[in-house]
Amino acid sequence: MYVDELKKIIDADRVTINPTMLEQHSKDESYHTPCLPDAVVFPKTTEEVSRIVAWANERHVPIIPFGVASGMEGQIIPQQGGISLDFQLMNRVLEVKPQDFLVRVQPGVTRMQLNKELKKYGLFFSVDPGADATIGGMAATNASGTTSVRYGIMRDQVRDMEVVLADGRIIHTGSMAAKSSSGYHLNGIFVGSEGTLGVFTELTLKLYGIPEASVTARASFPTVTDAVAAACAVMAAAIPVARMELVDGRSIQQVNRYKGTGYPELSTLFFEFHGNEAGLAHDLAFAQEIVGEHGCSDFISETDSLRQAALWEARHHLAYAFLHGYPGKKAMSTDVCLPLSELAGAIGHARELIEQSGMVGGIVGHIGDGNFHSLLMVQPDSSADIEQAEAINAQIVSYALSRGGTCTGEHGVGLGKAKYQRTEHGAALDVMYAMKQMLDPNNILNPGKIFIF
């Protein structure tokens, strides 16, 4: 076993083969089958990461970067063994540059930790995937979430990264400039590469000023098609929504059961608007007019921050409501993203598939982006459950790909979406794989993810 060799490269007490620790590093939030790493290593510096990776490259040992395991597609599962590289000791906010709207962080910083730190500067980091993920993990999967419709996805926020390549070389992928036409855009390629091209050791991120004012609103609709049409009309009117989430009737029902609430069990849109007060009043009135034209009769808005949270409660409790309601089950989440004109059809199709299957499942969508999730409740050790959910997922993906969409809007490829890569990317997949082979000829960087041939 190579653990003794590792202990010569990094302090022995930061290399562990403790079974509980290995088990903790064997799985994420997904339904994918856990696998144990050979060892877990906790680096403290970029130089240590570089030494470990260079060593692993010579010994052909897999390296799997690990944050807090909040991923949805098994990206951190060490399917081929190797070293789980846990970044919990590299969790410092290194520098806030308020005048530049920038922050430099280590990859193990979580987004809530970061936002707590930024609050005193009147700034915030915009990407909100729900979970309190690490910044390194969010960059690896190109995470996004509820605010992306206004502020963009993870890739849009990364100005620069320090990356350790497979051979131990350390590079920077960008600069602190807001824009650049210099060289090739390495930021873009490394963000979303899921640990397969290099290991991130530092990130410089774009920040935003906390908005002067915000308003939230909720609106329910007779049918899911009405709700989607209303959301598309809000986008077409170019109302700058900061958040716009769809939650279907089945999901609201689940929240009512879990929380004992009495929300109308109808397809519902949750809104948040950011801006100045005068502009917000106008945006809100315009949005209300539009949803009214699509059958909404209960548009409710709030400016008080506590009441705002209450208004969004049903959206926030959604995942827990399902997990709580079906103990022992996990949610397999589909993640397609389509052009807005195809969204109503896609959601209708997904709803129909779920009904036909008899599975328990709700639909929630970051609808301004055209991204929605079907949460399918599965027993992780039931191959029948998994197969049925996989079959539904395959049909949802196939529908999306045939209409110009993508198999994953924000969860990444990992293990679950590798089988759709050829259909989605065609010959471009060969270009991607050639990049992988060029940067990682020994296939040590998170092997088995993204590509299966």
Judged by CB under 8 A, the chain residues 242 through 281 that form the site for a copy of itself are: 275-279, 281
Residue from 12, 292, 391, 404 touching a copy of itself (CB under 8 A): that is 404
- Binding of a copy of itself at residue 283 (CB under 8 A)? yes
Dist CA 207 CA 98 (whole Å): 8
- Site track for a copy of itself across 102-121, x = CB under 8 A: x-------------------
Q: Name residues contacting a copy of itself, limited to 324-343 (CB under 8 A).
A: 335, 337-341
The count of chain residues that interact with a copy of itself, using the rule CB under 8 A, is 94
Among residues 235, 244, 362, the alpha carbon closest in space to that of 312 is found at 244
Q: Name residues contacting a copy of itself, limited to 33-92 (CB under 8 A).
A: none
Q: Name residues contacting a copy of itself, limited to 6-35 (CB under 8 A).
A: none
CB of 37 to a copy of itself, least distance (A): 24
Which among 87-95, 323-331, 418-426, 441-449 is the span making contact with a copy of itself, rule CB under 8 A? 418-426
- Binding of a copy of itself at residue 407 (CB under 8 A)? yes
Among residues 329, 324, 255, the alpha carbon closest in space to that of 29 is found at 329
- Binding of a copy of itself at residue 94 (CB under 8 A)? no
Helix (H) or strand (E) holding 96: strand 93-97
CB of 341 to a copy of itself, least distance (A): 4
Measure the CA angle with vertex 8, ends 3 and 11; round to 5°: 90
H helices of 294-427, in order, are 305-311, 313-316, 318-325, 343-357, 383-401, 421-425
Residue from 9, 21, 93, 189 touching a copy of itself (CB under 8 A): that is 189
Per the document, the length of the chain is 453
CB of 82 to a copy of itself, least distance (A): 22
| Tokens 């320090």 found at | 162
Among residues 431, 418, 428, 432, the alpha carbon closest in space to that of 390 is found at 418
Q: Name residues contacting a copy of itself, limited to 299-328 (CB under 8 A).
A: none
**Is-contact 145 410, C-beta < 8 A?**
yes
The residue type at 179: K
- Binding of a copy of itself at residue 167 (CB under 8 A)? no
Among residues 57, 88, 62, the alpha carbon closest in space to that of 75 is found at 62
- The DSSP secondary-structure symbol of 211 reads P
Which among 8-16, 177-185, 214-222, 319-327 is the span making contact with a copy of itself, rule CB under 8 A? 177-185
Residue from 31, 125, 270, 420 touching a copy of itself (CB under 8 A): that is 420
